[in-house]
Amino acid sequence: MDLDAAGRVAVYDPGMNDSETSNPGYWSPPQRDGQPIEVIGHADLVGSKSVSQRVILLAALAKGSSEIIGAPLNEDLQVFIDALVSLGLEISGELPGPLHVQGCGGQLPPGDRRVDLGVNGTGLRFITALAALRQGETIVDGVSHRPILPLVKALRDLGRSASCTGEGPPVKIGGGSLTGGRVVLQAAVSSQFTSALMQIAPHLPGGLQLRLTGPISSRPYIELTAALLRAFGVAVELTHREIRIQKVEFLRSGRIEVEADASAAAFPLCAAAIQDGDVTVNGVGTRSLQGDRSIGEILKEMGCRVEVSERSIRVHGPPVRAISRSMEGTPDLVPAVAVVAAFARGESVISGVSHLRVKETDRLEVLCRGMTSLGIRAEVRGDLLRVVGSDGLDLRGADLDPAGDHRMAMAFALLALRVPGTRVIDPACVAKSDPGFFTRIEALIGQQETTR
C-alpha cells in the first residue's frame, strides 16, 4: 500500500479496479498495534442529488434563466442533465457547477426523441412524466428492473397515451394531451411516481388532485418535492393522502443553492458510531429539507452522543442499544443503520424495508449476504430486517460484493473499518452518487493524530 502526500496509508485507489491489479477493491485500513481504527474529524458533504434533480427540472420548466449552485458531480446527475438536453432544454455549465438553466416556460421543444437514463431510477420517473408535456413521441429507457407501471397508468388517466414493457422501461409516451384533474396513484413501490407527477402538475390545464392509495413509501421525499415547488412559486396542499396543485402561469426562476446531501452524511456519522469516534458533518442539520437528516435522531436513539445544529450534526460513538424502528420514509439510511445495529447490544428490528428490493439491486439480499459472510446475524422476514448486534470480536474478514450498488459499497466500507481483512469489491460504483466517498472516509481516519 502507498502513502499519500500527508504520509497516511492510502487504502483506496480508483486504479485498483484495473484487471491487471493483483488486489482490486477497497481493503480494511491497517490497524496500528492491534488497536481499532479511530474515525475523527469534520466532513464537508457534496450537494444533494435528490434536491439537484428536482431543482434542475423545475428550473427547466420555469420562465427565465436560473443559476444552480452546489449540484454534485456524479454519474446520476450527469445522465439526468444529458437527458434534459437531448429533449431540447438549455442547460450550460459543468458539474459541480454552477449550472445555468434557460427555462422553457412549460413549452418543451417538440419532436420524436429517445433518451436512456441507465440506472438512474429517479431520473427515469421524472423524465417519463416530463415527456408527457411534449408534443411528439418520446421513448424513455433505463434498467429493466426499476418499476414504472404505476406512473404510466397515472399518465394515461390524465389523458396521455403511455405504455411500458411489463412493469418497467422502456416507456413510450405518444399521442393525446394532458388534461389534469383527479388521479389515483398506488404509492407503495416508490415516492418518485408521486414526485414526478407533482413537478408537471403546475403545467396541466386542470392542475392536479392526487389521491395516494396503499402504504406510502419514502414520504419525506414527497414533502421535499412540495417544499421545492413552493420555492418556485407553486401553491401545494399536502395532507396524508391528498395532494392538490393548481395550474400556474409560470414557475419562478432565479439563483438556487443546493443543500448538502443528508444521505451522504449518514455514512461518516455511522463510521464514528461503530468506531467509537467523533465526527461532525457540515451542511446538514435541522434546517435541511431532506428526511435523511433524521440520521442524528436514529443514532441518538441507539445510545450515541449526538449534537445537532441548524447546519451540522456531530456524533460520538459507540452505539449501546438496539432499535426497533420503521424506516419506510428513509430507505437510503437503512444500509448504514443496519451496520451500526450489528455492533449494538440486542436485536434491532427495522420495518418498512420491502421497497429496498427494487433499488439499483435487491439491497436487502445483498446487505444480508454481505453481513452474514462476516459472521453477523442478519435476515429479512417479510417487511422486517432483523440484525443481531455483538461486540464484533468473533467476526471474520471476507470479500463483500455490492453488486454494483453505490449504497451497498458505502455500507460495506463501514464494515471494512470494523472488521480487519474485509475487502469491498468494485468500490468505483460509488461514482453513481458520490465519487469522493472513499476519499472523505479516509480523510477522517487520517485526522486522528492531529485532532486528539
Q: Point out which residues pair with 387 in neighbouring strands.
A: 348, 378
In whole angstroms, what is the distance from residue 389 CA to residue 376 CA?
8
- Residues catalogued as catalytic: 332
3-state secondary structure of 46: coil
Q: Point out which residues pair with 351 in neighbouring strands.
A: 326, 384
The answer to whether the CB of 376 falls within 8 A of the CB of 342 is yes
Q: Which helix (H) or strand (E) holds 113?
A: strand 113-116
Cα angle 395, 396, 400 (rounded to 5 degrees) comes to 110
Pairing, β 242-245 against β 208-213? antiparallel
In whole angstroms, what is the distance from residue 32 CA to residue 78 CA?
40
Q: Point out which residues pair with 388 in neighbouring strands.
A: 347, 377
CA diameter of the chain: 70
The answer to whether the CB of 233 falls within 8 A of the CB of 300 is no
The answer to whether the CB of 408 falls within 8 A of the CB of 437 is no
- The candidate with the shortest Cα–Cα distance to 82, out of 50, 120, 112, is 120
The 10 Å Cβ neighbour count of residue 58 is: 25
Place of cell 433499488: 359
In whole angstroms, what is the distance from residue 414 CA to residue 270 CA?
8
Residues 6+ apart with CB under 8 A from 94: none
Q: Which helix (H) or strand (E) holds 378?
A: strand 377-381
In whole angstroms, what is the distance from residue 48 CA to residue 39 CA?
23
